[in-house]
Amino acid sequence: MSRELHDTLLQDLVGITLHFDELAATLEDSFGTAAGQAVRLRRYLERAIGEARQAVWDLRSAHPEEHDNAARHADATSVTLTLDYRATDIVLRVSDNGRGCQPTDYSGHTPGHYGFLIMRERADQVGGRFQVEASPGDGMIVEVAIPGA
């Protein structure tokens, strides 16, 4: 995933910033306001590139426990991963004994929190199933099943 982000999205964003530089230089002579807008847009892109690079770094980090994981988000002391190869599908189950959450937290309707929504969409794309079981104070179970080969 980190390679895909780096090799496609990040490279495209960098290319766009170069085009904004060229546009700003062209507009500066005759359209000062438009040139200023192009410069501001380039700054926004630079910020997005920085965030995307950090995300790539985090994905490739040898120490993910220092960033985003169940221990930090859930205050869990125990996380169990189970990978089950079945005749019809492959099931990954992650459970923890953390603080759990409200159903709205994993429904995909909370602005700025897209992790569960993205997991559900990816499972749907391959004809799989995604489900979450959680309630405040009772930990969480996240399970994804994808069709077997």
| 29-57: pLDDT as tens digits | 777 777 777 777 778 788 777 777 777 77
Return d(Cα 97, Cα 88) in angstroms, integer: 29
41 vs 145, which has greater pLDDT? 145
Return d(Cα 80, Cα 73) in angstroms, integer: 15
What CATH class has 70-147? alpha beta
| Span 59-118, pLDDT tens digits | 766 654 454 575 566 788 888 989 898 889 999 999 998 888 766 666 666 665 677 777
The letter for the amino acid at 145 is A
Return d(Cα 75, Cα 7) in angstroms, integer: 34
Domain ranges of the chain: 2-60, 70-147
Q: What is the pTM of this model?
A: 0.53
